[in-house]
Structure 1
């Protein structure tokens, strides 16, 4: 366990730094600049960058001089100031800048010496880069201790500098991951796999900025399929995609539900890696990629693709085509919180003077990005929890035919296995219902309005909660919960609490992998 230093704001700097400040030797100019600051004057300075070289620290300062002009100077010191620190300095000679003691003590306000657990909840995985590392003075009988400044790369405090004390030195420039255990306590976790999680989070933010809801492209495909003129190959692909979508009445069959989940796009990459060419054909993401490949040559200004290129693998077709169709969307889309569930509805507006194929290309590529957002959210929420349990997440979206409309059904399934279950050599043969399962559903079904469902299943016992944004719908569902309980009991399930609430589920601070509901077995 690593403890965050608990020094208060008035005693952030060590005694040796304050002593150095008193003698005017805290900062040394790398290039002497006589007359930079007039004798007897003090000017404000901001730490622009910080770099450790051996036992010394090089800092780039931006000085605001008395006449209002600004200049930058390179300095070195035996103690670091965090990037962004505000200082008040004077010049004792051409080689040195002195820092006012009071201002030095206040300069590290930007350096976090404790964590606000309302902004960074317990269990949050922090990612950071080590800026500095130095040994602390030892008292007789005490173990060695080292202090580091760490720049945070994620969470609501991204960009802030964290001051950490640890029993061993942290390599300067290294990346670290740590779980928040208290306002002054962190626990380091192995970095293996965490860099991949960071990359997933960055890619997810990009994909979410590009995505748009599926009904937009499905409506365009309906118009394309009914138009007698146009590209026959493109029209045939549109007809196949629409025919492959399940009807709402068919979802009462478990086999139909399983097939819809399997072909929702969340498993496309796994199918491609496994060489399952035949299984790719009905996958909705694969079909959208085919549409993108077929539509792109017909868009004015795009080069004609040869049949060999058009028939290339889907994994090669996706990146360039999707990026070319979606470049503009990143600049106009609001940034979503990674891992958001459900993804909010977002429809693209038609662009003026844009051809039908251009619009179809934009809609199809935006729909692919939406499915990619779900897939990346699945990766982001898959991993080992703080208690050692392994959580696996599958998040996807299934367009369901409802009359002449298409209702997107968003689904998230999570499986949690204990370390004992993970170590069981017969794990694959055991009943999957021995694991803890969580299910979330979100859909907007006229005339009921937006609905969300959260359910938990463990050892054959099911409990759940429903939310309806329309109060009348909430009252209607609440009156039918007795019938639902009876039907679940008829299926052999042990039913716990079933409740329906008006509104939406609470969206308070929740951290990746640590979002849990009440465990009724506790």
Structure 2
């Protein structure tokens, strides 16, 4: 964020430069900061130590009080926004969920096997209904290729389940039918009545949250073999563990998004694909360019389809300009995508979008590192 002092703050800064308050602005000093409000020009006014500075409104809500560390001085001092003290409950829940989580692909494979078992019709009606609702919450390719359909798929991905429930029109029964997490919770509760949940293995190598790992295309998992005795019990036991792992996956993503200093979400959408189920991974992030103060959205996606192999993409929108980068593991897939570039350019031009770049490379990119810790840049 670029921070420019108000006229009053400029006088204060002049005093600081001459030595009046210079002691409090040494490199490495930690200062308290708090938002004071918005001025008539629409700029956010912050008090940082003894100074009042103004900046463009950030893309995320700032806490009532926070701390910054002085990284550099000079014409453009840099301030590092320090993370808020971690809540003990937050850390405890995150430590519990990380070893339990797993991707959706194993769960989707087990659902596929169960759907093919005639003995499934002998299950209690409420359990059959819960399984049907979970399958109903899967999106289709036709739905997510429309803007409104993709928006709905994101809203119903489970990441926003509690916020939707807390809305004036929130309804638990309805959300249990159309929300991925709601359907998982309903099925998990019924499976808990049937038998205790399997105890997850004690793992010391739990992977970090998805938002910290970057995009990862997830292939389908082969359907598990049905028991020779035609019983459904072992499959239900397997399903129970995978439902719990999927719930942990959603909750870790929710916790990670709430702790991010910028608006950023890692969203996974289970899809009913051709002859099987797939997982579409999306990363949606709002960012500010520290060089010119411009801001916009970045949408990343990862998908592994049997016919195309692993794919990744990144769309950066700085309205009205758009940059599109695609990656495909297979040469043939990259060539198929490039053949669609002409129609895509025409459609974007018709929408008034200026396309700065449209490319497709062979090979998948390396996952990027975590967000930079430098969030505040002050201009004196």
The TM-score, its normalising length taken from structure 1, stands at 0.49
Question: Residue 370 of structure 1 corresponds to which residue in structure 2?
Answer: 249
Superposition pairs of residues 19-30 of structure 1, within 5 angstroms: none
Relative contact order (C-alpha < 8 Å, sep 6+): which is higher? 2
Find the partner of 1:395 among 253, 263, 266: 266
Superposed, 1:257-296 pairs within 5 Å as: 257-274=150-167, 276-277=170-171, 280-281=175-176, 282-296=178-192
How far has the Cα of 1:329 moved from its partner?
Answer: 3.6
Secondary structure in 2 aligned to 1:406?
A: strand
3-state SS in 1 of match to 2:122: coil
Report the alpha carbon displacement of residue 223 of structure 1 after superposing the two structures with TM: 3.7
- Per residue, is there more helix in 1 or in 2? 2
CA gap 1:464/1:181 in 2 versus in 1, 3 angstroms: farther
Question: Which residue of 1 is the match for residue 47 of structure 2?
Answer: none
From 235, 250, 254, the equivalent of 2:143 is 250
Is the Cα contact below 8 Å between 2:108 and 2:277 reproduced in 1? Answer: yes
From 103, 120, 134, give the equivalent of 1:241: 134
Q: CA offsets, 1:398-438, max 9 Å, x none?
A: 1111123111001111124699xxxxxxxxxxxxxx95111
Match of 1:216 in 2: 106
Q: 1:464 is matched with which residue?
A: 324
Match of 1:449 in 2: 309
> Who is 1:33 aligned against?
none
Q: Distance in 2 between matches of 1:195 and 1:363?
A: 33
State the number of aligned residues: 299
Shift, 1:330, TM fit: 4.4
Number of the residue aligned with 2:14:
none
**How far apart are the structure 1 equivalents of 2:256 and 2:209?**
11
Q: Deviation digits for residues 345-403 of structure 1, max 9, x if unmatched?
A: 4969979997333211101011112222322332233x2xxxxxxx3112211111112
Task: Provide the C-alpha distance between the structure 2 equivalents of 1:481 and 1:204, rounded to a whole number of angstroms.
Answer: 42
Question: Of the two, which has the highest radius of gyration?
Answer: 1
Going from structure 1 to structure 2, the CA distance change for 1:188 and 1:492 (only over 3 Å counts) comes to closer
Counterpart check, 1:512 vs 2:371: yes
TM-score (structure 2 length as normaliser): 0.66
Unaligned runs of 5+ in 2: 1-22, 29-66, 228-232, 376-380
Q: Do 1:205 and 1:337's aligned partners in 2 also have CA atoms closer than 8 Å?
A: no
Q: Distance in 1 between matches of 2:359 and 2:337?
A: 9
Question: Distance in 2 between the 1:494 and 1:197 partners?
Answer: 44
In structure 1, C-alpha distance between the alignment counterparts of 2:235 and 2:314, rounded to whole Å: 40
Q: Note if 1:328 corresponds to 2:200.
A: yes
Q: Secondary structure at the match of 1:437?
A: strand
- Output the CA distance in 1 between the equivalents of 2:111 and 2:341: 38
Q: Which residue of 2 aligns with 1:359?
A: 238
Structure 1, unpaired ranges of 5+:
1-142, 149-175, 303-323, 384-390, 420-433, 517-522
Three-state SS of the structure 1 residue aligned to 2:304 is strand
Residue 507 of structure 1 and its aligned partner are, at CA, apart by: 3.2
Q: Is the Cα contact below 8 Å between 2:209 and 2:256 reproduced in 1? A: no
Counterpart mapping for 1:104-503 below 5 A: 178=69, 194-196=84-86, 203-204=93-94, 206-226=96-116, 227-274=120-167, 276-277=170-171, 280-281=175-176, 282-299=178-195, 302=196, 325=198, 327-331=199-203, 334-336=206-208, 339-343=212-216, 345=218, 355-381=234-260, 383=261, 391-416=262-287, 436-503=296-363
Q: CA deviation at 1:225?
A: 4.3
RMSD: 4.2
User: What's the offset of the Cα at 1:180?
Assistant: 6.5
Residues 276-331 of structure 1: per-residue CA shift (max 9 Å, x gap): 125523110110011000011111xx4xxxxxxxxxxxxxxxxxxxxx54x42442
Cα distance in 1 for partners of 2:201, 2:371 equals 27
Question: How many angstroms apart in 1 are the aligned matches of 2:157 and 2:142?
Answer: 18
